[in-house]
Chains A and B, each alone.
Chain A
């Protein structure tokens, strides 16, 4: 398993501002993932963060709104830009163990960042 530290754990932000969420892992991992969980909803993948390359975004998510950095194999950040109340969600980072050819590729999650936008 992996130990993932995510911060901040929660924040209240004003409309139009940006927030950067940090995710630190206790071991080197190839892939890191960022999810959004809107109130009362399931998890939706925002993007996959690869070290040394651009993040891969899912449909409906764009780099200008959710820029991601992945400077090394243990760290990533997600920025929520120009926030609106609709961005109020829990944002979670996760890491996968094993490669895509390993069926038992378990994703371990950070504790999440609970964001409220006023």
Chain B
């Protein structure tokens, strides 16, 4: 069965520093997508970055990059040059090809310190 694990319930990072949020997943399907979302205190879910299981390169979107290690089944989010506005909950999610259903992890609360 599909499973997403985020082992860091909370993280602190100094402003302008980089931070890595961990995500491991479990699936027996060779075709899947991995996603990261940001949820500020307002409650909306903001899509950040996507990685396909067959993508050869790690995904990047601005200050966000995804460290995809397929053999280890990990998809860690790296935020470079952290900003105060990055303080939020971050959720990792997975979807297997052939379904619409997302499986979400439990989230990591990131606090950026001035």
Which residue of A has the minimal Cβ distance to B46? A109
State the CA gap A20–B45 with chains docked (Å).
20
State the CA gap A114–B107 with chains docked (Å).
18
Query: Which residues on B sit within 8 Å (CB–CB) of A117?
Result: none
Interface size class of A (residues with CB under 8 A): 20 to 34
The residue that B100 contacts in the complex, of A41, A90, A96, with Cβ under 8 A, is A96
B104 touches A43 (CB 8 A): yes
The residue that A103 contacts in the complex, of B33, B43, B104, with Cβ under 8 A, is B33
Interface size class of B (residues with CB under 8 A): 20 to 34
Which residue of A has the minimal Cβ distance to B101? A45
State the CA gap A115–B48 with chains docked (Å).
26
A110 touches B44 (CB 8 A): yes
Name B's A-contacting residues (CB within 8 A). Answer: 31-33, 35, 37, 42-47, 50, 52-54, 91, 95, 97-102, 104-107
Q: List 8 A-B contacts (CB under 8 A).
A: A42-B107, A94-B45, A100-B98, A103-B33, A108-B47, A109-B46, A111-B43, A112-B43
Name A's B-contacting residues (CB within 8 A). Answer: 1, 31, 33, 37, 41-43, 45, 48, 90, 92, 94, 96, 100-101, 103-112, 114
